[in-house]
């Protein structure tokens, strides 16, 4: 399996608009973070996780622009705001497969009504939706994917276990039974918004507590705000086997 991180930033991205903090002014390319998204390449399929408003820029600079399906973690704009840019993959004759919770599907039908019109405007992206339930193992184009439920403050969201990897973003709390089910997994991808505690996201210390419980072979953190600090500086605070992702980073895992 290969995972390529298209974006590792939170909803505002880094640098944040009208912010002159040292992190936002950093010249280190690892401190330049588009909104969170990733491509998982596994067993001949390229699976996109989340499609935020930076998707066009991300896919143009990706090492491979082929994608076969989309998994959506939740409805927030920084995770779905780029779906209109899927039109090269979502033709009328071949609608693009999207997997998401039922409430997410309902909201997308409201937010993108032109995609579901009986006589759509030429070039409008077309989608086929598959509803995913908590803790369900579903078939994504021949790939078995398990939906990992967690809470983004009061919003139920999904992470995904695909082969040797568990991918969980925007989580604040996750049940111990879910952590037990991924214990010892070769790769854990997990959100860690910032150093200080946050209402709806894991902080760096909270994410490290999850890593300690899961004891993965390797842990990679994502979904950072500028308050995570410099990539180079914060990386030195992490224990062995834990690292910060950055845009364009690729990882191979058995």
How do beta strands 165-168 and 69-71 pair?
Answer: unpaired
Q: Mapping DSSP to helix (H, G, I), strand (E, B) and coil, where does residue 76 land?
A: coil
Query: Can you give the pTM of this predicted structure?
Result: 0.97
Give the number of domains in the chain: 1
Instruction: Say which DSSP state 92 is in.
Output: S
Residue 124 pLDDT: 93
Distance CA 178, CA 17 (A): 37
How do beta strands 96-100 and 69-71 pair?
Answer: parallel
How do beta strands 37-42 and 45-49 pair?
Answer: antiparallel
Q: How far is CA 61 from CA 6, 39, 56, 72, 198, in A?
A: 9, 12, 9, 21, 32
CA atoms within 13 A on the CB side of 146: 12
Q: Which two tokens stand for residue 77?
A: 């704009």
Write out the chain's pLDDT in tens, 254 residues: 999 999 999 999 999 999 999 999 999 999 999 999 999 999 999 999 999 999 999 999 999 999 999 999 999 999 999 999 999 999 877 899 999 999 999 999 999 999 988 888 888 999 999 999 999 999 999 999 999 999 999 999 999 999 999 999 999 999 999 999 999 999 999 999 999 999 999 999 999 999 999 999 999 999 999 999 999 999 999 999 999 999 999 999 98
Distance CA 12, CA 58 (A): 16
Q: List the domain range (segments joined by +) for residue 238.
A: 2-252
Q: Mapping DSSP to helix (H, G, I), strand (E, B) and coil, where does residue 88 land?
A: helix
**For residue 167, what is the domain's CATH number?**
3.60.15.10
């Amino acid at each position: 399996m290969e995972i390529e991180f298209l974006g590792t930033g939170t909803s505002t991205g880094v640098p944040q608009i009208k912010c002159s903090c040292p992190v936002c002014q950093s010249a280190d390319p690892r401190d330049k973070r588009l909104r969170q998204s990733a491509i998982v390449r596994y067993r001949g399929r390229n699976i996109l996780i989340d499609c935020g408003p930076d998707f066009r820029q991300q896919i143009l600079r990706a090492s491979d622009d082929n994608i076969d399906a989309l998994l959506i973690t939740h409805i927030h704009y920084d995770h779905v705001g780029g779906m209109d840019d899927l039109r090269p993959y979502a033709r009328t004759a071949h609608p693009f497969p999207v997997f998401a919770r039922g409430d997410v599907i309902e909201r997308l039908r409201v937010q993108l009504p032109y995609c579901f019109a009986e006589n759509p405007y030429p070039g409008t992206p077309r989608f086929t939706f598959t509803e995913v339930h908590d803790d369900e193992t579903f078939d994504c184009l021949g790939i078995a994917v398990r939906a990992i439920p967690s809470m983004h403050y009061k919003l139920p969201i999904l992470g995904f276990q695909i082969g040797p990897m568990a991918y969980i973003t925007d989580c604040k709390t996750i049940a111990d039974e879910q952590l037990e089910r991924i214990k010892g997994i070769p790769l854990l991808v997990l959100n860690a918004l910032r150093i200080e505690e946050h209402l709806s996201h894991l902080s760096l210390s909270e994410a490290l507590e999850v890593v300690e419980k899961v004891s993965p072979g390797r842990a990679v953190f994502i979904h950072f705000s500028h308050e995570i600090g410099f990539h180079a500086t914060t990386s030195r605070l992490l224990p062995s086997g834990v690292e910060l992702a950055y845009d364009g980073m690729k990882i191979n895992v058995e």
